Structure 1
Amino acid sequence: MSECLFCSIASGAAPGFLVAATDTAAAFLDIRPVFKGHVLVVPRTHVVTLVDLPEADIASYFGFVQKIAAAVETGLSAGGTFVAINNRVSQSVAHLHTHVVPRTKGDGLKGFFWPRTKYASDDEALSYAEKVAAVMSS
């Protein structure tokens, strides 16, 4: 689907800070992260919500999400992660995406009120992507 931003990033047609990819999914930095190192995981096939994801793809998709969550923790020395999916409501791009947000004790995240921040530069964003990617490729 050419008009979908996430399809374009996953295919390499649009720029993004890619963390890792498989034949069926891609992971890249959120450009408006809750905390730096916030990764979005998307299926390469265009589906809008979790309900639309074919049952045959669920295990591979969430297996990849699980690996990204572990890589975010290890690569960013995070205390844990917050993993979430919005279906339609609060879904800024109409393409299934799973948020993997690095967490630390006392980081200020309360419930579902997500403060947003920005990377100081593309170089800073790239450094976060590389840290997680290094764990994924090891």
Structure 2
Amino acid sequence: MTSCIFCRIISGGLGAARIGENDLALAFLDIRPVNRGHVLVVPRRHVSSFGDLGAEESVAVFQLIREVTSALKAELPGCEGITLSAADGEAAGQEVPHAHFHVIPRSSGDDFGWRRFGTPESSETLEATASLLRHSMIS
């Protein structure tokens, strides 16, 4: 998909600060980082949704995320933790329609935070939702 910015990076048609790769995934620095070292990990094959990845691709993406996480913690002074983030679909805030994960190095007081929203659900409601979803899970 030539109009996809990530596909252009993967093909070499657009430059990026690449930091790692494997046969099925690529990792490169985000051009608008939340913190220094903010990395994007993308599958090489163009898919908009993580649900469209094959099992092998999923493993390759998460293997690269694991390697990036280790490198960030080892090499960036002050990296105390990692936020792993993904938006799947426009309604979720996905801006580039190519599945991708943000791997964001974190430190205490970096002013980037997650807030927990929502209200507690009853155990009955949780179990009803879990039952509904179990029937559609990909094996």
Q: Which amino acid is 2:99 matched to?
A: L
Higher-Rg structure is 2
Q: Which amino acid is 2:113 matched to?
A: K
Deviations 1:55-92 (A, max 9, x none): 23211221111111111111213111101111012111
Q: CA deviation at 1:45?
A: 0.5
**Residue aligning to 1:13:** 13
For the residues of structure 2 that align with 1:4 and 1:46, how far apart are their CA atoms?
A: 8
Question: Could you tell me the TM-score, scaled by structure 1's length?
Answer: 0.76
Matched, 1:99 2:109: no
Q: CA deviation at 1:110?
A: 2.0
For the residues of structure 2 that align with 1:15 and 1:9, how far apart are their CA atoms?
A: 6
Query: Partner of 2:10: helix, strand, or coil?
Result: helix
Matched, 1:86 2:90: no
**Residue aligning to 2:121:** none
Q: Which amino acid is 1:104 matched to?
A: S
Query: Partner of 2:36: helix, strand, or coil?
Result: coil
Moved more, 39-48 or 11-20: 11-20
**Residue aligning to 2:29:** 29
Q: Alpha carbon RMSD of aligned pairs, Å?
A: 1.2
Alignment of 1:106-121 (within 5 A): 106-111=109-114
Q: Which has the higher contact order (CA 8 A, sep 6+)?
A: 1
Question: Could you tell me the TM-score, scaled by structure 2's length?
Answer: 0.75
Gaps of 5+ in 2: 116-139
Give the number of equivalent residue pairs: 112
For the residues of structure 2 that align with 1:74 and 1:10, how far apart are their CA atoms?
A: 26
**Residue aligning to 1:60:** 60
Alpha carbons 2:22, 2:60 under 8 Å: kept: no
**Residue aligning to 2:122:** none
Gaps of 5+ in 1: 113-138
Q: Give the % identical residues.
A: 38
